[in-house]
Amino acid sequence: MGSKMLETQAQAVYARAKSSEELDIESGERLYPGISAGENQLRWGFIRKVYAILSAQIVLTTLVSLTTVFYSPINHLLKGNSTLLLLLLFLPFIFLIPLLKYQHKHPHNYIFLGLFTVSISSTVGLTCANTDGKIVLEALILTSAVVSSLTGYAFWASKKGKDFTFLGPILFTSLFTLFLTGIMQMFFPLGPTAHAIYGAVGAMIFSGYIVYDTDNLIKRFTYDEYIGASVTLYLDILNLFLSILRVLREANN
């Protein structure tokens, strides 16, 4: 009688395991072909955690930017103080070093992540303050549409078995070239058409990075790299927004 009961329980466990391989009970779908049911469930939990952190970063950036744009004392202070503005430009890199060092140590990782986000949000807010509000809104809408579309495509493509690792070297080379071009513009200023082209190329590069890094999020980031994954996607989205903003601003001029 006891052995019969154990056999029945084992069959039930096996049936549940088989059914979970066909359809993950937590996410409702398989992330990519060949992933086990347990790994699929853990990976969905990791993805949700990363997007929760990313959402908090975007909300914080929005609040800091709105404060910078609409609170006159801060706005005038940043516009009239070139030394402070230069410090704000380098401050994110200063906070990025301890953030990478303590990204696996709680609560230090969240503290440095918050400082990094606030510091980079100040420069974004100043950029928006120097741009017409209608253009900022258009850039925000376009960025939201592009990010949503590319993220959905990356998940769909991953489910179909597509892989985007080949984009890594191409995107890195393109980004490095874009960086050098930006340095050259500091010494040899280009016209508005060249600025618009520069922004358009930047938008295409960071669009590629959103697909590439989302694919890494689905398949390659380890479970303790949630800070690194959120920072990577945050910078992709932010740079895409700034690139689109540059294109619209030059087109308006």
- Does a structural domain hold residue 77? yes
pTM: 0.84
- Does a structural domain hold residue 108? yes
For residues 150 and 123, the answer to whether their CB atoms sit within 8 Å is no
Q: Is 28 left (phi over 0), alpha (psi -120 to 50) or beta?
A: left
Nearest in space to 139 (alpha carbons), one of 55, 252, 229: 252
- Does a structural domain hold residue 240? yes
Give residue 240's pLDDT: 96
- Asked if residue 24 has pLDDT above 80, the reply is no
Sequential DSSP letters for 206-232: HHHHHHHHHHHHHHTS-TT-HHHHHHH
Domains contained in the chain, number: 1
Distance CA 201, CA 237 (A): 15
The residue segments making up the domain with residue 61 are 35-252
- Asked if residue 189 has pLDDT above 80, the reply is no
Q: What is the pLDDT of residues 205-241, one digit of tens each?
A: 999 999 999 999 999 999 989 999 999 999 999 999 9
Distance CA 164, CA 212 (A): 6
- Does a structural domain hold residue 12? no
Q: Average pLDDT, whole number, for the chain?
A: 84
- Does a structural domain hold residue 28? no
3-state helix, strand, coil split of the chain in percent (to 5) is 85, 0, 15
- Does a structural domain hold residue 218? yes
Give residue 71's pLDDT: 76
Residue corresponding to tokens 């597509």: 162
Q: What is the pLDDT of residues 130-182, one digit of tens each?
A: 888 889 999 999 999 999 999 999 999 999 999 999 999 999 999 999 999 88
Give residue 158's pLDDT: 93
- Does a structural domain hold residue 140? yes
